[in-house]
Structure formats: C-alpha cells, structure tokens
Chains A and B, each alone.
Chain A
C-alpha cells in the first residue's frame, strides 16, 4: 500500500492543479496537431498558423492578408531584379532579448537548404543563387544570401522573382538563433527556450492538446499587440470544435462542420464568417495511361457533363464558387471566368464529344474514381458519378481510400485513373498553383507534360514585375484549359466561427489571421 500512496497523491495534485489566473487568453481552434514548430521544418497548415504568431521574417502577412515589411524596414532592388538589399530594423530582438542580425538570416537560409533539415518548403527558395546546389548536397556551393553588415542583408537571385517579398513572409524564411540550435539541437524548440522573432513567444506545448503563446516583450511593436496570451487547441473534428465554440471554450474556430449555409447561419448567426479563399477543388486524370492519355475530347466531355452550380449549391453549400480553371479569380488579372452556356447546351456538347471519343451507351466508359475518406468527398464523388452516368452513361467505380493509401496511390500513378485533387495556396501567387502541372514536378500527380505550358510557366517565373507574371500565368493556365488537363469543380471558401468578443478578425483570401491584429473584449 505504501508505494501506492505517493502515486495517489501525485494524481490528486495533477487533477486539482489550479488555473494560473490569466484572463485575457484568446482560445483558437487550430485543426490537427502541428507537425513541428521549427520554422524551417514545419509543413502543415496548423503549424504555419502558429508560426506566423511566433516568427516574422523580412516581410510578413498582415491581418488583411497583405504582405508588409517586418524585420526589414525597407529594401531596394537592382535594375535587373537579381539583387535585393534589405535594411534591417536595428531594434529587432528575439524573445530572449538578443538582437536579430543579418547573420541570423544567413544561418536560417543555410539551414533551410541543408538536405538533412528536410525542409518541406525549401523549393520556394529555389530562385536564390546556390539554393538548388545546396539542396542537392553541395554544401560548399556559394549561397546568394549575404550579411553585408549586421543590419544589411543582400539576397542574390539567379532569375528575377516578382513573388520574392511574398516568399520571404513564409516561416521558412524567418531568422533563427544559431546559438540555440547549436547548444540544444532539436530541443531548442521547447517552451520558454525557443527564441522567437514574432509578436508572441512559446510558453507551453502539450502535444495533441494545445500550444500556449505569450506576448513577446521584446517585439518591436509590442505596444500594439492587444492580446496577452493565445492558446491554439488541437481540434481534429469540426463538430467537436463547434461544440466547444457553442459552450464558449473557443473564441475562433479553424473551420465549421459540414452543413447547409442556411442551417449554419441559423445556428451561429453573424458569428459564422465565410469568405472566398485561394484554393481549388478539382479532379485529376492519370495522363500517363489509357483511357485519358491521348483523349482530350473525353476529358472535355467529362468536364462539360458536370453541373458545377448544382454541386456548389447542394453538395458543398457554403458559398463555394464554380471553377472553370485551376486559378482562383483573385489570382487572375482578368478576374472571374464566367460561362454564358447553359447546362443543357453543355451536356449536349458533352454527349457529342463522348461519342467522338469512341464511347456510347452501348460501349460506355468504365472509370475508377479514387478519393480519400471524408463525408464531403463521399457526397461529392457520388454526385460526380451520378452526373456522369445520367448525362453520358459513364460507369464509375468509386474507390474510397484511407488517407495515406490514397496519397501513395495518387503519387505512384500506377492504378489511379481519376483522383480527388485540391490545392490551397501558400502564397498569393498563381505560380503556386500552376507548378502542380510543370513537367517533372514531384507534385505533378497527373503526369501532364506540355512544352508550351512549361515555356509559359518559365516566362512567368522570370517576369520582371507582378502584372507581367500574372499575364504569363494566365496564358499558361489557358494551355491547361485547352488540354483539359484537369477537371476543376469549385474554389474553396474559408469558414470560421468568430466570437462576438473577438475584434479585428478580417476575412482574406489567404485565410491568414495573425493574433497580433486582433483584440479580445472581456
């Protein structure tokens, strides 16, 4: 009995441990457990949300989803667009009070491009001189990130990159303190140890539970940060998250449970906030084998046979917009693509194309449609298969797979015919979408290859300014549409429940909501 007593006392103390007594805590639902809080190693959206509170780089995303200067007070660009020179804020400090210098940026970029770091976003830095070589394991290759003086940084590019300011706002480009990583290794990412550069610092982390941040006293604009503490909760289930919001345990949710807009609006009123976001849901074809390899007519027929209006009103039902291309309207210079054609005319055209491709009611296409298991995906794929059957007579075999199995099959391109695709933008940059279809890209799950598309994509990459980049990107997207390389269905919306006590939450296409730009009423 005696050895059990200390255990019992320990458990009792654990159960009855008192609250630390802080009132102004913003409670945020944040989806799954963040995979890492190492700015160079993190990948998932859940990690990126927390990292945007913890870390700022040369630039940052503000509460409106716009890029603005952060640690860089200003910058200038050479005429050829290949040299970017940044003047750093001399008052910028880590959360432990140590100054942030240009040497820290050099260390961070070197770390991101070191192969063993296995940084998932490292390819975003590919336009920097020496980045590709470093990623390929050439450690001695000169890197185009130079500390000219403690607060003077130069980034050299191998080609102009109009999106560089956006890329530099990603957590992967945030400075990290060399001393901490050299002393503690991976253990540097620990509460009360990790030196952060953003508005908040890490003070507690309960894996699969929550991450607690506290205002960074050394943050240059600390006086403008209203919320003292932010707790990011792991909320893997949207219904459970909504329940916690309803009981007042959360002020802001990561998403809302699936349901009709009218029902959700009735339940949550003005607290339900829905806005267009930079994301597209589409179906991908395996273009490396029959029946889709050389049959654009068949691909066009399948695309025309879908009534997207019906899908977004009946199946998704939370403000999604029908999609006719890969790029969301916000990333197209000419804005939204509208079609004047009625659904009936489209279906007639689809039937003609289907027959021209060699299929008929007597000789129907049999196709496997592969998707990962979610309630929404099940409904969507059922609707797609019904529309194909009703309008064309296509026989669809629905393959519902567990997440990892689906991802592996899609990547392998062996037994996949049509698959669930989708993309949410990391940056407000059309190339972030279009690179999915670049020849040889590891994200090109369709096996699409068109030299004209690649040329236009390359033109967009080296475009000297933003309008030229958008124009080239639109031309590249037009090639994708002509080839019917994918079947876009709808553009995503961001969906949140926002407490009436929370002010400063602004819907934006990037769906980025830094805690520093919000206020919490008592």
Chain B
C-alpha cells in the first residue's frame, strides 16, 4: 500500500513539474495567443486576456491551472473557443491510441518472428538483410516515409485514402500506422535480435540444450522467454516514440489526433490546449511505464525480489 502511495505521489510530482516547466516555457516564448494577422482592437485584446486569465502572473496561472486540472478540467481552448480542452482531447485521444496500438502491433508482431528466425543463424543472408533493413528504416524520418506511402498506396495504386478521416475508420488508419511502424520495426528488430543472441549465450539455455531438448522446443520455450524481459523493457521507449512521432504522421495524413492538436497548440500559443495534451501524454507514459514494469516482473520472476 505504501509502495503504491509512493508511486502515486512521485507520479503527481512529475506531472506538476511537467506543467510548471511547460507553462514557463510557453510564457517565455515570443508571440502571444491572441496575436493574429488582423490584430484585435485593444478593448477586444483586454477582454480576451481577462476571459482566459493571461493577464495573471505565472504563479497565479500555474496555481489555478493545476487546481482545475486536478479536477479533470483543463479549461477552455484559447484558439478553438467553442471547445473545452477536455472535449478536444477526448475526441483526439482514441484516434492517436488506435494508430499507436496498431503501429506497435505491426512493428513488434513482425519484428519478433523475423528476429527469432534471423538470430538463429547469425551472419546468414537473412540476418544481414534484417540488419540492413532495420538500419535503413531507423534512419528514414517519418516526414519522408509518410508522404511516400501516401503517394504509392493512395495516389498511384488507389488502394487506400490519402489522408483525412472517414468511414470505415480502419482504412484511414492503415497508412499512418504503417508509417509509424516502419521506424519502430527497425529498432524492435535490432533489440529483439540482440536479446535473442544474448539468450543463446546464457547458462540456462546451455543447460537446456545439455538436457537434449529439440531445437524447436529450445527456441520457443527457452530462448524466447529468456530474451523477452529485456526486449519488453524496450517497448516503453518504443511506445513513447510512437506517441511523439504521431505529431508528424498525423500532420502528413491530416488526422485529428493528439499529435496534431499538440502541434496546432504550439503554433497558436494555445496554452491550455498544449498543457492539457502534454499532461495527457505524461499520464499515458506513466501508465505505460507501470504496465511494462508489471509485465517484466511477470515474465521474469527473478526480478520480483
């Protein structure tokens, strides 16, 4: 119980620091939320500042925002004044989670079996091809791969919609998920391959092999379980990379997700929306870290002590 409380307290502290730093950075940025091509009249500017509390000091703003955010209210958006930040996040979050989950499934679902096969024969043609492919994919930025995917699958082949969101939704999710998955496949394949080669050298596997177990049984029942905990620890950075990478991919595919909201909030100096999205991402990362910690403990009983 105490451990849980300690975890919750440290999570709260992390989120508060995140909030305080983001607000300070936002206020330090040149250009205000109500600076537009057509400057509003001074009386309108004053009314807007009073309505959104931007005329308050940093500490008053931080205190007020932290207080309302604690109750789950992120306030109204500065830029999209018809919506509260909570409503905007509620609409954007399922989409980002859907694409992110799909991307992780694609990346890891393909990386594990391919790495398993290649690592069994280190230095073979397939192994070298996998290493080359993963390096290539890792070094290709999403703003390059995403438009190429759209060009090939939407414009040339006409198989999938080029961008936007319509029905059925899955058609619109495939290309963005693929764009996110490509980079993650590269890094996941390298990590899983490394962990499997490491497992091959472990005493446990040597002992199992000495007992005369078949290669197939060794692969699935021994090598993989030994490699999985260390590979799983990499799922967190992979998920975080997917979450942050969604800003680029959602922009290229014009998807109304959390990443696009974040980019729009930063460009428009929409303080409340930006803080809301950052806090949401912070909570997601903390939950993921906790889930992966539990998963690794479940996979590797030795770490429970």
Contacts and interface: CB of A to CB of B under 8 A. Distances in A.
B31 interface: yes
B168 A135 contact: no
Contacts of B51: 116, 118
Contact of A35 (B81, B87, B92, B98): B81
A504 interface: no
Contact of A407 (B35, B42, B154, B254): B35
A335 interface: no
Contact of B164 (A20, A244, A403): A244
A246 B155 contact: yes
Contacts of B101: 11
Contacts of A403: 31, 267
Given A243-B162, A407-B35, A408-B31, A233 B167 contact: no
A189 interface: yes
Given A14-B169, A16-B168, A249-B161, A411 B155 contact: no
A186 B76 contact: yes
B52 to A, nearest CB: 10
A148 interface: no
A135 to B, nearest CB: 6
Contacts of A208: 88, 92, 256-257, 260-261, 264
Contacts of B252: 240
Given A11-B94, A233-B254, A407-B31, A116 B47 contact: yes
Interface string B16-47: 00000000000001111001111111111011
B81 A206 contact: no
A403 B29 CA distance: 12
B183 to A, nearest CB: 21
Given A402-B31, A404-B30, A407-B35, A209 B164 contact: yes
A40 to B, nearest CB: 11
Nearest to B94: A14
A445 B37 CA distance: 11
Nearest to B261: A208
A409 B35 CA distance: 10
Contact of A18 (B76, B92, B167, B264): B167
B35 A135 contact: no
A266 to B, nearest CB: 17
Interface string A4-24: 000000010011111110000
B162 A15 contact: no
B164 A17 contact: no
Interface in A27-59: 33-38, 41, 43
Interface in B174-207: none
B256 A209 contact: yes
Nearest to B254: A240
Contacts of B173: 15
Interface centre among A118, A123, A135 (most CB of B within 10 A): A118
Contacts of A33: 80, 264
Contacts of B32: 404, 408
Nearest to A234: B254
Interface residues of B, number: 61
Contacts of A38: 81-82
A193 B150 CA distance: 37
Q: How large is the interface on A (under 10, 10 to 19, 20 to 34, 35 or more residues)?
A: 35 or more
A122 interface: yes
A270 interface: no
Interface centre among B47, B94, B168, B254 (most CB of A within 10 A): B254
Contact of A442 (B42, B92, B163): B42
Interface in B64-98: 76, 79-83, 87-88, 91-92, 94, 97-98
A405 B35 CA distance: 9
Contact of B167 (A17, A234, A247, A407): A17
A320 B138 CA distance: 44
Nearest to B87: A207
B41 A35 contact: no
Interface string B253-272: 01111001100100111000
A19 to B, nearest CB: 4
B141 interface: no
22 contacts: A14-B94, A15-B170, A16-B170, A17-B167, A19-B168, A33-B80, A115-B43, A115-B46, A118-B44, A123-B41, A206-B165, A207-B256, A207-B261, A208-B88, A208-B256, A208-B264, A210-B256, A249-B162, A402-B267, A403-B267, A404-B269, A422-B37
Interface of B: 29-32, 35-44, 46-48, 50-51, 76, 79-83, 87-88, 91-92, 94, 97-98, 101, 150-151, 154-155, 158, 161-170, 173, 251-252, 254-257, 260-261, 264, 267-269
Given A14-B169, A17-B168, 7 more contacts: A43-B38, A208-B92, A208-B264, A247-B155, A404-B30, A442-B40, A443-B39
Closest 4 CB pairs of A and B: A404-B31, A209-B256, A208-B256, A19-B167
